A and B are shown apart, each in its own frame.
Chain A
Amino acid sequence: MRGTWKAWAFLKLGLLTDISYKLSFAFQVLDILLGIAAFYFLARLLGEKTPQGYESFPFILIGMAVNGYMTTSLVCFAEGIRGDQLMGTLKAVLTTRTSPLALILLSSLYPFVRAAVDAGLYLVGGMLFGLSFGQVNVPAALLCFLVSLPAFSGIGILSATFTLVFKRGDPLLWLFGSLSWLLGGVFYPLEVLPPFLQQTAQLLPITHALEVMRAALLSGAPVAELLPQIGVLALFGFIGLPISLIGFCLGVRRARVTGTLSHY
């Protein structure tokens, strides 16, 4: 029960802070809708179908939604730490009865909810531009969402550890953020890339998340058909998440030794 109250406290903190900047909050929503419109017209220009038979507009739209979600997973943990360092609240929360591990996980709740709302906005906004989801496989999409979460979060928590220990210059965020954008298949199918880059793309969780999400939302592919990609995503989470959590605990310990918890 205490965990639930704590989760609610973090959600409330994020929401109250977010809506206290009313204009920014409204513009973020508007930004998504304008982005959808831009991609709609860009897709009309491209016109062609992808090798998997998807129309360009839904292909890009799902790419944007999943990429947005992944970006949140990558940055929210580090942003939470950095925000607390800047406000001077990091030491205050670390002297409470909540463990650092619980704190880092709970601090990501609101950004994840926001990212889910944003992803939903992409899909709803797409429907305003005539996108239809006639063949959606909801369980497969939900399963993909659930296994992607730990896969992306593992990298995000390691990134937060970098922020805690080295303050700036996080190579993981740069590596996964930029490579996912370039090789993950957000805007174009992997087939347009040279073969060696297609193979490199398999090392990125977003590649598999996008394949599964598009197949589930645009062609209604059954879970059984998507199991290999879902398995790869689960493996990313299974290996990455425990490593990142151990890394984070070591990072907190390191900062307690060096006295740099609140440095930024």
Chain B
Amino acid sequence: MSGAAVAVQNLTKTFPARKGLKTLLRCPLRPSGIEVLRDVSLEVRPGEAVGLLGPNGAGKTTLLEILSTLLLPTGGRARVCGFEVVNQAAHVRKVVGYCPAASQSFYPRLTGVGNLEFFAVLNDFRPREAKEKIEMVLDLVGMDGASHAPFQWYSEGMKQRLSLARALLTDPPVLLLDEPTKSLDPLLQGEVRRFLRRTLVEKLGKTVLLVTHSLAEAEEVCDRLAIIYRGKSLSVGTPQEVRKAFGGGDLAAALERAVGAER
């Protein structure tokens, strides 16, 4: 556990829910809440790519947001590069690059480069250092001159790439990627997948935790997969192990069986 890049132990997250008047009058003391993660445990080794699979609302994004310090867990422990996400949040932010699912997370009137410069300075870069680094990451994600156009003019694909570029700015050892190919066309998806696997994982040795709904992407990019359903981790293993654990066949059938057994 100590050598893991990401270590999650019995992690739970319950969002407080408002009680209706009826419930409030009937059982005023009963705690109410929406349980999004239930005792999730997961370990990701340095340089490994792990895919988080599961239907919508399974708790995948919640797990990434806890690891990126945007959310506080209700119970359990989570560590990134040995730092606790609750008590050492500032350290965690130094070792994590987070690429959210929503591509609208930039200032629309600023150019792509202007946005990256802003986020680079917030990440303690000097402006000159930032410029060099920005050139490097834009090159890495394959964005050319369009990065000097205002962000609001960008296509979804460019927004996704810029988001990926921002996650890479600080050269973090751990990348938390939430559906990074969501709005991309099939050609671009393939390109990004190869970039994630060959460049980030194999060449740069990054640890990647990838949320995706694309099973082909999960198999192509990830070393291991974790199936999450209703906040519970159902299975963690290599794609072959996951397929075998749920009766063989392809990954889609295995996922269906895994989720079906829990319903």
Q: B residues within 8 A CB of A20? A: 109, 150
Closest chain B residue to A16 by CB distance? Answer: B110
Compute how far the CA of A103 lies from the CA of B90 in the bound complex, rounded to whole angstroms.
14
Q: B residues within 8 A CB of A13? A: 107, 110, 118
Q: In angstroms, how far is the closest chain B Cβ from the Cβ of A188?
A: 40
A9-B122, A98-B122 known; A89-B71 Cβ under 8 A? no
Q: Are B16 and A97 in contact (CB under 8 A)?
A: no
Q: B residues within 8 A CB of A8? A: 121
Q: Are B106 and A89 in contact (CB under 8 A)?
A: yes
Q: A residues within 8 A CB of B110? A: 13, 16-17
Q: Which of A40-48, A111-119, A172-180, A251-259 contacts B (4 or more CB under 8 A)?
A: A251-259
Q: In angstroms, how far is the closest chain B Cβ from the Cβ of A253?
A: 7
Q: In angstroms, how far is the closest chain A Cβ from the Cβ of B144?
A: 22
Q: B residues within 8 A CB of A12? A: 118
Closest chain A residue to B151 by CB distance? Answer: A87
Q: Which of B92-100, B203-211, B234-242 contacts A (4 or more CB under 8 A)?
A: B92-100
A92-B105, A97-B94, A256-B72 known; A9-B15 Cβ under 8 A? no
A13-B110, A16-B114, A256-B71 known; A96-B104 Cβ under 8 A? no
Q: A residues within 8 A CB of B117? A: 9
Contact partner of B121 (CB less than 8 A), chosen from A5, A16, A21, A88, is A5
Q: B residues within 8 A CB of A91? A: 65, 70, 100, 105
Q: A residues within 8 A CB of B90? A: 97, 99
Compute how far the CA of A57 lies from the CA of B150 in the bound complex, rounded to whole angstroms.
44
Query: How many residues in B have their beta carbons less than 8 Å from beta carbons of A?
Result: 36
Assess whether A94 is interfacial by the CB under 8 Å rule.
yes
Compute how far the CA of A257 lies from the CA of B15 in the bound complex, rounded to whole angstroms.
7
Contact partner of A96 (CB less than 8 A), chosen from B102, B107, B123, is B123
Q: B residues within 8 A CB of A253? A: 72
CB-based A-B contact count at 8 angstroms: 87
Q: B residues within 8 A CB of A99? A: 90
Q: Are B72 and A5 in contact (CB under 8 A)?
A: no
Assess whether B166 is interfacial by the CB under 8 Å rule.
yes
B-facing mask of A1-24, CB < 8 A → 1, else 0?
110011011001100110011000
Q: Are B127 and A5 in contact (CB under 8 A)?
A: yes
Q: Are A89 and B105 in contact (CB under 8 A)?
A: yes
Compute how far the CA of A122 lies from the CA of B114 in the bound complex, rounded to whole angstroms.
33
Closest chain A residue to B16 by CB distance? Answer: A258
Q: Are A89 and B107 in contact (CB under 8 A)?
A: yes
B169-209 interface (Cβ within 8 A of A): 170
Q: Are A96 and B108 in contact (CB under 8 A)?
A: no
Q: In angstroms, how far is the closest chain B Cβ from the Cβ of A53?
A: 48
Compute how far the CA of A259 lies from the CA of B109 in the bound complex, rounded to whole angstroms.
27
Q: Are A258 and B15 in contact (CB under 8 A)?
A: yes
A13-B118, A95-B96, A97-B93 known; A261-B104 Cβ under 8 A? no
Assess whether A105 is interfacial by the CB under 8 Å rule.
no
Contact partner of A16 (CB less than 8 A), chosen from B69, B72, B102, B109, is B109
Q: What would be 15 A-B contacts, judged by CB atoms less than 8 Å apart?
A: A5-B121, A9-B118, A9-B122, A13-B118, A89-B106, A91-B100, A92-B106, A92-B119, A95-B96, A96-B122, A97-B124, A256-B71, A257-B16, A257-B72, A259-B71
The 8 closest A-B pairs by CB, nearest first: A96-B122, A9-B121, A88-B104, A20-B109, A92-B105, A88-B105, A256-B72, A98-B122
